[in-house]
A and B are shown apart, each in its own frame.
Chain A
């Protein structure tokens, strides 16, 4: 019908696909019917395990007790949020730390994942790619507790390998575990190390699914390897990068408690930068056994993330309508 009118963008997708409006209504219903059928299992799972349990959000505004049950318990208004927002200084710091670390993680993580994917895509040795790809996946399996223990043996003041090296080189010892800002670098590096291999697989598989004819054409035109990467490969990855970012942005206010616990051992001297919301909630509400407080803050994280996603989704839509999540 209109194939000839639709320009193929470099990412191999059809830029604009207008669907013939002349299609008869019956036909549309018939076709969409099978779509509902395909989506049905997923819908059921989402309803059973996500939407029905969401009724529990009501608990955030209640003082739960067993005898009255979830719905009968007395209302508590916003009092479950009070502990967090009445110590504004802590709340702001925790929010700032969370956003700061997440932005750093996202930026560096994406950069390294994409870089690794592109490089893997360039390499021609099959066995080398296979082996390195598997190996880069290893850190993903290693729990933060283990990573923390290994980092400790690197960074310990007296016995740590780093400081032993520094001393041998005639440099001074560094007290990593009492330098909050220095430790941000450690955390970022640890995060790259743990997740870059995992992320790279996503981008690498996108590249593998791409028609090789673009490359052939470019090569015939005499483009250098570097030009091919910057002019063809990277643009091909942009939609995926946008998608991944959109998916991650909703979690902007959520942090990984197990990471901070594993890597810093909740060292109080590092809290100025590592006290993310989840850590703050852990060491206040959860330690006090006030689980209602904890779920209230989870809601705060979700709402904030939701707003961010709505904005980001709009922005993505301006860039390219097809990049929108929904």
Chain B
């Protein structure tokens, strides 16, 4: 009896997840098909699951003579994502560990010190002034990830994972005379690996998706990331299509707005969507290897 009840529930669970997944997949299919449709038919008939008037025009428009630049931007994105994620995870877990140590008198001070920055910010002007004039991060590779090395949200998330590690383990290590550095590297990191994988993933997404740092700090096209390149193109296409162009001067070309939006979504999402399961495995492995060495 019990097993039939359990079975029924389980089937219901599978069903719910399957339905929700399909709902999540729909727009993506629409985006892929939209990006392969002709602009005029999308404008006239709306989106569909199958390309309307199959064409590669939009991609040709986007890539145009820019193929080389797009490839460069992809590799820049990968570089920034890898460097950024690796260093951010290190900075974040270390800070999170400090906040999670219950015996540390000032842990609340540290927690508050971090949380406060989640709420209050001084705006872009001073940030930009300091980053360019004092830290000289403009047009530098490190400028593309260093400002984001500590996400307070993810730091607290990591603290949460650390706290769920049974305290006995830590205490027995303490009795053995282990210091915080050793506990952190050889106990907390390996035991908190699920959390580590999770925040690595979130960091990777954050760095991959970011266009703000390149927008603010980069003028050198060598340093454009794919998201910024796309943001740039999108902003310009939208401007040209918005009719604001007429106020400033008047634009002559009409770019494929709708299909371009879809194509850009595909270009930025596709690589990470395909890589996601592998990334997960990669992170898990990387952490295991790292912790063995530690």
Query: Do A and B have CB atoms closer than 8 angstroms in the complex?
Result: yes
Whether A205 contacts B94 by the Cβ 8 Å rule is: no
Pair count A-B, CB < 8 A? 258
Q: Which of B6, B120, B268 touches A54 (beta carbons < 8 Å)?
A: B120
Q: Give CA–CA (A119, B17) in the complex, Å.
A: 8
Among A8-16, A95-103, A168-176, A265-273, which stretch is in contact with chain B?
A: A8-16
Whether B156 contacts A134 by the Cβ 8 Å rule is: no
Whether A39 contacts B95 by the Cβ 8 Å rule is: yes
Q: Which residue of B lies closest to A12 (CB)?
A: B164
Q: Give CA–CA (A49, B113) in the complex, Å.
A: 13
Q: Give CA–CA (A120, B201) in the complex, Å.
A: 18
Among B56-64, B74-82, B147-155, which stretch is in contact with chain A?
A: B147-155
Q: Which of B14, B46, B94, B167 touches A39 (beta carbons < 8 Å)?
A: B94
Distance between B65 CB and nearest chain A CB, rounded to angstroms: 26
Q: Which residue of B lies closest to A2 (CB)?
A: B171
Write out the residue numbers on chain B whose beta carbons fall within 8 Å of the beta carbon of A55: 122, 126
Does A183 belong to the interface (CB within 8 Å)? no
Q: Give CA–CA (A324, B126) in the complex, Å.
A: 32
Whether B13 contacts A123 by the Cβ 8 Å rule is: yes
Write out the residue numbers on chain A whose beta carbons fall within 8 Å of the beta carbon of B23: 193
Which of B94, B98, B112 is packed against the most chain A CB atoms within 10 Å? B98
Q: Which of B122, B181, B195 touches A209 (beta carbons < 8 Å)?
A: B195
Does A287 belong to the interface (CB within 8 Å)? no
1/0 per residue, CB under 8 A from A, across B81-101: the answer is 000000000111011011001
Number of residues of chain A lying within 8 A (CB) of chain B? 96
Does B247 belong to the interface (CB within 8 Å)? no
Write out the residue numbers on chain A whose beta carbons fall within 8 Å of the beta carbon of B155: 42
Does A142 belong to the interface (CB within 8 Å)? yes
Does A82 belong to the interface (CB within 8 Å)? no
Q: Give CA–CA (A36, B110) in the complex, Å.
A: 10
Which of A55, A153, A222, A326 is packed against the most chain B CB atoms within 10 Å? A326
Whether A38 contacts B130 by the Cβ 8 Å rule is: no
Whether B198 contacts A201 by the Cβ 8 Å rule is: yes
A46-B117, A120-B17, A141-B269 in contact; A206/B164 too (CB < 8 A)? yes
Q: Which of B91, B122, B135, B273 touches A138 (beta carbons < 8 Å)?
A: B273
Q: Which residue of A lies closest to B20 (CB)?
A: A136
Whether A54 contacts B121 by the Cβ 8 Å rule is: yes
Whether B126 contacts A70 by the Cβ 8 Å rule is: yes
Write out the residue numbers on chain A whose beta carbons fall within 8 Å of the beta carbon of B94: 38-39, 41-42
1/0 per residue, CB under 8 A from A, across B154-187: the answer is 0111001101101110010001000111001000
A17-B102, A53-B121 in contact; A209/B265 too (CB < 8 A)? no
Distance between B102 CB and nearest chain A CB, rounded to angstroms: 5
1/0 per residue, CB under 8 A from A, across B1-19: the answer is 0100110011001101110
Distance between B274 CB and nearest chain A CB, rounded to angstroms: 9
Does B30 belong to the interface (CB within 8 Å)? yes
Does A208 belong to the interface (CB within 8 Å)? yes
Does B194 belong to the interface (CB within 8 Å)? yes
Binding site secondary structure of chain B: helix
Does B277 belong to the interface (CB within 8 Å)? yes
> In chain B, residues 259-280, which have Cβ atoms closer than 8 Å to a Cβ of chain A?
261-262, 265, 268-269, 272-273, 276-277
Q: Give CA–CA (A122, B218) in the complex, Å.
A: 47
Q: Give CA–CA (A306, B102) in the complex, Å.
A: 24
Q: Which of A134, A153, A240, A302 touches B119 (beta carbons < 8 Å)?
A: A302
Number of residues of chain B lying within 8 A (CB) of chain A? 95
Q: Give CA–CA (A130, B102) in the complex, Å.
A: 35
Q: Which residue of A lies closest to B29 (CB)?
A: A138
Write out the residue numbers on chain A whose beta carbons fall within 8 Å of the beta carbon of B92: 42
Whether B31 contacts A146 by the Cβ 8 Å rule is: yes
Whether A53 contacts B167 by the Cβ 8 Å rule is: no
Q: Give CA–CA (A323, B53) in the complex, Å.
A: 56
> In chain B, residues 126-159, which have Cβ atoms closer than 8 Å to a Cβ of chain A?
126-127, 129-131, 135, 146-147, 149-150, 153, 155-157
Q: Give CA–CA (A269, B180) in the complex, Å.
A: 59
Q: Give CA–CA (A206, B129) in the complex, Å.
A: 40
Distance between B32 CB and nearest chain A CB, rounded to angstroms: 11
Q: Which residue of A lies closest to B104 (CB)?
A: A35
Q: Give CA–CA (A12, B110) in the complex, Å.
A: 25
Q: Which residue of B lies closest to A160 (CB)?
A: B46
A34-B180, A59-B125, A210-B164 in contact; A49/B147 too (CB < 8 A)? yes
- Listed by A's residue number, 20 A-B pairs whose Cβ atoms lie within 8 Å are A8-B166, A13-B164, A19-B103, A32-B180, A39-B95, A42-B149, A42-B150, A42-B155, A48-B130, A53-B126, A123-B13, A137-B24, A142-B269, A196-B20, A201-B201, A208-B194, A224-B6, A247-B118, A247-B153, A295-B123
Lowest 5 A-B CB distances belong to which pairs? A56-B122, A56-B126, A42-B95, A50-B117, A326-B111
- Other A-B pairs, 12, CB within 8 Å; known A41-B95, A132-B21: A12-B166, A13-B163, A34-B181, A125-B14, A135-B21, A142-B28, A145-B261, A150-B27, A211-B166, A224-B5, A243-B156, A326-B108
Chain A contacts to B: CB under 8 angstroms: 1, 3, 6, 8, 11-14, 17, 19, 30-32, 34-39, 41-43, 45-46, 48-57, 59, 70, 116, 119-120, 122-123, 125, 128, 130-132, 134-143, 145-147, 149-150, 153, 156, 159, 193, 196-197, 201-202, 205-206, 208-211, 222, 224-226, 239-240, 243, 247, 250-251, 295, 298-299, 302, 305-306, 309, 322, 324-326
